[in-house]
Amino acid sequence: MSETSHAEGRTFPPPEQLAAHANAGPEVYDEAAADRLAFWEKAARRLTWTQEWDEVLDWSNPPFAKWFVGGKLNVAYNCVDRHVEDGHGDQVAYFWEGEPADDTRTITYAGLKDEISKAANALLDLGVQAGDRVAIYMPMIPETIIAMLACARIGAVHMVVFGGFSADALASRLDDSGAVLVITSDGGYRRGAPSALKPAVDDAVGRSPGVRNVIVVKRTGQDVDWSEGRDLWWDDVVDRQSTEHEPESFDAEHPLYIMYTSGTTAKPKGILHTTGGYLTQVAYTHWATFDLKPDDDVYWTAADVGWVTGHSYIVYGPLANRATSVMYEGTPETPHRGRWWEIVQKYGVTILYTAPTVIRTFMKWGEDVPKDFDLSSLRVLGSVGEPINPEAWLWYHEHIGGGRCPITDTWWQTETGAHMITPLPGVTSLVPGSAQFPFPGISAKVVDDEGNELSDDSTGLLVLTDPWPAMLRTIWGDDDRYVDTYWSRFGKNVYFAGDGAKKDADGNIWLLGRVDDVMNVSGHRISTTEVESSLVGHPSVAEAAVVGASDPTTGQGIVAFVILRESGTDSGDELVQTLRNHVARDIGPIAKPRQIMVVQELPKTRSGKIMRRLLRDIAENRELGDVTTLTDDSVMNMIKEKLPAAPSED
């Protein structure tokens, strides 16, 4: 398979000014290579510990790691109190921007400390103890962060469930985690209208006898059903509390949170993160990957707190580094398509971190939208969640970054907790479309099915060959599944990430999507991502999703679903042929899609991932599988109605 589908040709060296003052220069790679554990130990010293560790890493019982063994610290103290003690209490921690116009709040570090202390006291009053699980099912409002940090402060384990999830999803997570308390709100704003949350909590908690109380934040003023004795208003239980709370130190391996993520079976996996190693790596990566300067930058992760990106890079990393952040409640098109750029302009955002799927949506809306706003404050851009195709990379670089901002394409997972493969903005010459190099102190390889390393552009599997501080410690309540899922394919010392990848001659790592998304066509491995990238490289295509459908002759056949750009291109047979030939030219005849279907929408999870599994069901004419994690399940009916009777032959 040719490299040319990726090769944009150009590389982008770091801006001189940035390189000259970068937090992380080339020396960090050397330091980490010389002594990995000493490197992470130094990163840990950026935090405040109340007790020194005895050992940096205990890997005597793989794959169960212990980092900073014997060390003690309090996460909330590290994220907030110490900055106030250092004289930065007046610094803004969050500029919060609600979706309704003029609905804003500014929260300083001192203010945040008071609110977290009050919430911590309220949780203690309700009998929540260290180690108890507290569910948080909230919109993007400051109380969500306050609730998370209040849990961390008292050693309770938070379990945030994205507010877009259904009552069923919430119920199964309450049950699996054994939550004793739920923190929620009456509702939140979504696309210009209040959207209720409390009814789903009532439904889910009704099935979860372990939940003793539900704390409800008033956000929208919607009517709510009330269960006397169980339900409590946040204002009633939190506002009356003292702003004094003495943080207790917890063991470095004390559980910090559980975050559920979908696996290959129906039952979601409760990924467990702990205290010291997690905070060390999220804080250090946030500082290095984005070159965060706490006195100057205005940082914005445009994601939901309900995902790991929000946990690590809206909450823990930025706060540990004393960042000033933007937090936005709503959607990018409410009330207009320039809302994000208006926010960048208003707060002078300097660092923006978002996902390729959003960037492609902006591309679809056209460059005239951002053009009307002053984006000159931006200096570093980030990308996360899926491979960023070179076209989207270049669009982001030019139309958002004004051609001057490095883009850090960060590969990581809920399981890894923090960045694992990424360029560094002051060091790396960027190659559009590649996440490039393992972060200093991280060992990543591309291997074949037998575990032999590949570095010649051939497609293989991504593995992590040494434990890292922010790694998951287990799957909640299921050590066996933890071992089976991640540490059995190549033995107990090698983490199997589930991603296809290849490494080129310059050492750049190209992520190729989940391995179940790597197709095998006539014995050739072709990445769905590669074909998608080619399709969106065609001027008439806005978005594309590709699946491998089983095929009697070739093993798998390539089936593509495409959304056309708005400018009303012809969607007939002729265009389909043009696109098939375009891909064949771009990647090679082997990659020519068997079938291309023009659709209006693609089925996506609430985190914006395309649900290829469902598209595969359609391509193979099967009954649809589980659709409960879709944002909008009517999308599937729309697609089915559009289907041609038989695949087009060539």
Scan residues 181-240 and list those touching ligand WT7 (CB under 6 A). Answer: none
By CB under 6 A, is residue 411 in contact with ligand WT7? yes
78 versus 607: smaller Cβ distance to ligand WT7: 607
Stretch 50-69: interaction string toward ligand WT7, x if CB under 6 A: --------------------
Quote the DSSP letter at residue 520.
E
List 290, 353, 412, 476, residue binding ligand WT7 (CB under 6 A): 412
187 versus 277: smaller Cβ distance to ligand WT7: 277
158 versus 311: smaller Cβ distance to ligand WT7: 311
Nearest approach, Cβ of residue 397 and ligand WT7 (Å): 15
Quote the DSSP letter at residue 599.
-
Scan residues 385-404 and list those touching ligand WT7 (CB under 6 A). Answer: 385-387
List 22, 384, 518, 619, residue binding ligand WT7 (CB under 6 A): 384
Give how far Cα 520 sits from Cα of 2, 459, 513, Å. Answer: 16, 11, 14
204 versus 512: smaller Cβ distance to ligand WT7: 512
Nearest approach, Cβ of residue 246 and ligand WT7 (Å): 34
**Of 111-119, 409-417, 537-545, 554-562, which segment contacts ligand WT7 by CB under 6 A?**
409-417
Go through 35-61 and write b for each residue having 16 or more CB atoms within 10 A of its CB, e for each that does not: ebeebbbbbbeebebeeebeebbbeee
**Of 162-170, 289-297, 407-415, 587-595, which segment contacts ligand WT7 by CB under 6 A?**
407-415
What is the C-alpha separation between 537 and 565, in angstroms, rounded? Answer: 12
What is the C-alpha separation between 247 and 270, in angstroms, rounded? Answer: 27
List 166, 261, 554, 569, residue binding ligand WT7 (CB under 6 A): 261
Quote the DSSP letter at residue 51.
B
411 versus 437: smaller Cβ distance to ligand WT7: 411
| Residues near ligand WT7 (CB under 6 A), total | 19
By CB under 6 A, is residue 605 in contact with ligand WT7? no
Nearest approach, Cβ of residue 409 and ligand WT7 (Å): 5
Q: Which residues 6+ apart lie within 8 Å of 612 measured at CB?
A: 517, 528, 545, 546, 547
Neighbours of 483 (CB within 10 A): 16
Nearest approach, Cβ of residue 396 and ligand WT7 (Å): 13
Stretch 481-510: interaction string toward ligand WT7, x if CB under 6 A: ----------------xxx-----------
Best CA proximity match to 112, nearest among 93, 133, 139: 93
222 versus 413: smaller Cβ distance to ligand WT7: 413
Maximum separation of any 2 CA atoms in the chain, in Å:
73
- DSSP secondary structure letters along 612-642: HHHHHHHHTTPPP---TTBS-THHHHHHHHT
List 274, 285, 309, 324, residue binding ligand WT7 (CB under 6 A): 309
Nearest approach, Cβ of residue 249 and ligand WT7 (Å): 29
Q: Which residues 6+ apart lie within 8 Å of 61 measured at CB?
A: none
List 409, 532, 551, 586, residue binding ligand WT7 (CB under 6 A): 409
Nearest approach, Cβ of residue 528 and ligand WT7 (Å): 11
- DSSP secondary structure letters along 291-305: T--TTT-EEEE-S-T
List 211, 308, 602, 614, residue binding ligand WT7 (CB under 6 A): 308
Nearest approach, Cβ of residue 558 and ligand WT7 (Å): 19
220 versus 285: smaller Cβ distance to ligand WT7: 285
Query: To 10 degrees, the CA torsion angle through 13, 19, 24, 25?
Result: 80
Strand positions, DSSP E, 1-132:
55-61, 64-69, 72-73, 92-97, 104-108
109 versus 300: smaller Cβ distance to ligand WT7: 300
123 versus 427: smaller Cβ distance to ligand WT7: 427
List 166, 195, 345, 413, residue binding ligand WT7 (CB under 6 A): 413
By CB under 6 A, is residue 283 in contact with ligand WT7? no
What is the C-alpha separation between 178 and 211, in angstroms, rounded? Answer: 8
Nearest approach, Cβ of residue 486 and ligand WT7 (Å): 11
Nearest approach, Cβ of residue 59 and ligand WT7 (Å): 23
By CB under 6 A, is residue 304 in contact with ligand WT7? no
What is the C-alpha separation between 581 and 327, in angstroms, rounded? Answer: 44
386 versus 617: smaller Cβ distance to ligand WT7: 386
Scan residues 503-542 and list those touching ligand WT7 (CB under 6 A). Answer: 511, 514
Neighbours of 11 (CB within 10 A): 12
139 versus 387: smaller Cβ distance to ligand WT7: 387
The first and second tokens of residue 273, run together, are 């993160």
Quote the DSSP letter at residue 34.
H
The first and second tokens of residue 61, run together, are 């019982």
* Contact predicate 101/335, CB 8 Å: yes
Q: Which residues pair with 195 in a beta bridge?
A: 188
What is the C-alpha separation between 98 and 104, in angstroms, rounded? Answer: 6
List 435, 442, 515, 562, residue binding ligand WT7 (CB under 6 A): 435
Best CA proximity match to 390, nearest among 2, 1, 124, 10: 10
Task: Please name the residue that has the structure tokens 């590969």.
Answer: 411
**Of 66-74, 145-153, 381-389, 613-621, which segment contacts ligand WT7 by CB under 6 A?**
381-389
Best CA proximity match to 13, nearest among 408, 433, 406: 406
Nearest approach, Cβ of residue 281 and ligand WT7 (Å): 13
Give the interface with ligand WT7 as residue ranges (CB under 6 A): 261, 308-309, 384-387, 409-414, 435, 497-499, 511, 514
